[in-house]
Amino acid sequence: MKGKVFKTVVRPAMSFGLETVALKKRQEAELEVAELKMLRFSLGVTKMDRIRNEDIKGTTHQALGVRYGEMFYCKLVKRSEEEVDMDKVTAAMVLTSLSTSPLVRSPPVKVCEGLSGSWKDNGSAGPFTPSSNSSSGGYWSWSAPSDQSNPSTPSPPLSADSFKPFRVPSLGGVGPGPAGPEDPSIDEQDGSSLLFDEPIPRKRKNSMKVMFKCLWKNCGKVLSTAAGIQRHIRTIHLGRNCDSDCSDGEEDFYYTEIKLNTDSVADGLSSLSPVSPSIISPPPPPPSPLPSLSQLSDSHRPPRASDTKESHAGGTTLLSRSAPSALYLIHTDHAYQATAPVSIPSSSSNSTGSASTSFTPTNSSSFSISWQSPPVTFTGNTQVSPSKSQGFGEQRSQTIAVLSSPPRATTALSRKVRGEGKKCRKVYGMENRDMWCTACRWKKACQRFTD
């Protein structure tokens, strides 16, 4: 267990195995847990930036990746390599428990030792119950404030979900050895290789395709590779322009893995009916609907994918030829998601007031249209470099997207229709006002739980 592993895992911009976590010294386990908590916490409850800046600041860097049913909770916190001292076992433990505990509340994961109060105990007792700081109990359960129905609670798709058993790759092998070879082959563009040893589409099953869907509010971007989605998030939501390693060290990615079989997708295309549960393999837990999923899915209908870099070399083929209908899915990589008119403030850094358009021009030549944004949006400035190398399908698909998009926003022109979904206030309650999205705090249209 040397920094080496860590490096391998982290450096590639934020790729790390689902179940891989780079841990640090044991005495820091405390921190670790705290951060994991935070991770989940932040998923739906808080503004990432805030967390990152206020809570994580100061902690050493590290990478965390958690797979929770269908969801990926990832966080990358760079950390000076010298200090890195992996303790994958611990990591595995943490993660395992994490991934196992259903809705958080069941088996209060008990990790290592301490960690009692390390977690930011901003009085409000936030969503976490520090479990009475049980000295060593280290229980850190996530009892969402409105657990009852908190849409933001990343209620894992049920522990039951006979998903792939939680694999602890490096655990078995233990030591630096295993991690290294982890995925030598998968190395692709900008080193953003994905160690997501899981279901990367590279081996697309007959009609099953694994995609990664961005969980940021207002964004339903779906890409076919983890790297792609990460990049997307980084660029669009985190506001980092440079796509390589400009990361200031901390990055948060939320995205979920979705499996869609090309067929259903095709359907979706034609019917365009909202709600695409079919795509998400395990039916979301009825009681507490996955915030992200449900919410996102209904607002962003057509599951589309982008990304071509499956491997620049033969990648294109890989994807494009998947199936006729796949065409629909194909989009360019780094296709930047045009978000709804509302833009996420925090990451606006790069939006450079692209004037009317909602999608960010960014350097990348491609773009993607959000079927959710007002039809007009994309018109002139579409930087679709016609010279786009891979001309096939692509343009076409885009067109399709556009055509099929307009759900006509003719509805509420004047006053935004009252959002039906739960909003921050309802979800977090007045007590936790500080957890609301800024918009909500300012009594503006909620940005977190858009409808």
Partner DNA sequence: GCTGCCGGGGG
Partner DNA sequence: CCCCCGGCAGC
Q: Which residue ranges make up the site for DNA (CB under 7 A)?
A: 345, 415-420, 422-423, 425-426, 438-446, 451
Nearer to DNA, 69 or 151 (CB): 151
Nearer to DNA, 58 or 442 (CB): 442
342 neighbors 374 (Cβ within 8 angstroms): no
Residue type, 34: A
Alpha-carbon distances of 33 from 39, 223, 230, rounded to whole Å: 9, 30, 23
At 214, give phi and psi (nearest 5°): -70, 135
Give residues with Cβ within 8 angstroms of 154, minimum separation 6: 40, 43, 44, 68, 71, 73, 290, 291, 292
Tokens of 4: 């080496």
Least Å distance, CB 441 to DNA, is 5
Nearest to 204 by CA among 297, 329, 390, 65: 329
Place of tokens 């949006």: 377
Nearer to DNA, 261 or 432 (CB): 432
51 neighbors 37 (Cβ within 8 angstroms): no
Nearer to DNA, 44 or 69 (CB): 44
Nearer to DNA, 25 or 441 (CB): 441
Q: Measured at the alpha carbon of residue 58, what is the angle toward residues 56 and 61, in degrees to the nearest 5?
A: 75
Nearer to DNA, 82 or 420 (CB): 420
3-state secondary structure at position 171: helix
Least Å distance, CB 240 to DNA, is 17
Helices (H), 56-182: 88-100, 169-173, 176-179
Burial of residue 83 (CB within 10 Å: 0-12, 13-18, 19+) is: middle
Nearer to DNA, 270 or 349 (CB): 349
Nearer to DNA, 364 or 438 (CB): 438
Least Å distance, CB 418 to DNA, is 4
Nearer to DNA, 345 or 361 (CB): 345
Distance CA 397, CA 380 (A): 18
Give residues with Cβ within 8 angstroms of 294, minimum separation 6: 151, 284
- Cβ neighbour number for residue 400 with a 10 Å cutoff: 16
Helices (H), 143-251: 169-173, 176-179, 226-232
Residue type, 147: D
Count Cα atoms within 13 angstroms, Cβ side, for 51.
29
Rg (CA), the chain: 21
> Dihedral angle at the C-alpha atoms of 423, 427, 433, 436, nearest 10 degrees?
-50
Alpha-carbon distances of 348 from 26, 216, 352, 424, rounded to whole Å: 38, 13, 8, 21
Place of tokens 């060290």: 249
- Structural element, H or E, at residue 31: helix 29-44
Nearer to DNA, 90 or 372 (CB): 372
Nearer to DNA, 113 or 451 (CB): 451
Nearer to DNA, 176 or 239 (CB): 239
Place of tokens 């660029």: 235
Least Å distance, CB 444 to DNA, is 5
